[in-house]
Amino acid sequence: MMQQRRPSAAFNRANVNIETRERPGTIIVDTHRRYLYFVENGGRATRYGVGVGKEGFGWSGQMKVGRKAEWPDWIPPKEMVIRERRKGHILPARMAGGPKNPLGARALYLYRGGRDSLFRIHGTNQPWTIGQRLSSGCIRMMNEDVAHLYNRVPNGTKVVVIGPEGQGGRGVYRETGVSAPGLLTSIFGN
């Protein structure tokens, strides 16, 4: 089996210190920096690298996780089918979940006003795209990272998306450094 290319180490999962008014359990996506933060207690967050919408497909705003799925089926939106057909690519009407599926191992379906926005936070079978602007507006994560996040996030979770030019991001958060869990314990004991 061929080893897949990996993104830059800068996009590896990390525990970071964060200043934010958002409550623990909130997801913050900074599409400009290409990071997703899962806010935790005590001024901490788990930071994940993400791939985001290409030029013209960036967006910002608040949504909620309305549905979750493991190894989800992929049904390309009508607009994408039309857009890709113009380029000479024929997309399937539906693709069963699995390792070759573009939604990857897990998907968090983002809802606004109780309706599916058609935007997702999902895994990818193309990990080298993490840190890049290539998607049609969805937030891509490495499969192991989206599975990690999926297990921590219930339906109803608030998602704050900061746009590619920083729109919607003023004062949402400030990362203050990488935290070293267990460092004090290793020095001073329990």
As a whole number of angstroms, the distance between CA 184 and CA 190 comes to: 9
Q: Is residue 89 annotated as part of the catalytic site, yes or no?
A: no
Direct distance between the N- and C-terminal alpha carbons of the chain, in angstroms, rounded to an integer: 44
Q: What are phi and psi of 100, to 5 degrees?
A: -90, -5
Among residues 32, 89, 122, 148, the one annotated as catalytic is: 122
The bridge status of strand 35-39 relative to strand 27-30 is antiparallel
The half-sphere exposure of 139 on its side-chain side, counting CA atoms within 13 A, is 34
Q: Which amino acid is at 46?
A: T
Residue in 32, 89, 138, 148 annotated catalytic: 138
70-84 core/surface letters (b: 16 or more CB in 10 A; e: else) = ebbebebeeeebeee
Tell me whether residue 138 is one of the annotated catalytic residues.
yes
The set of catalytic residues is: 122, 138
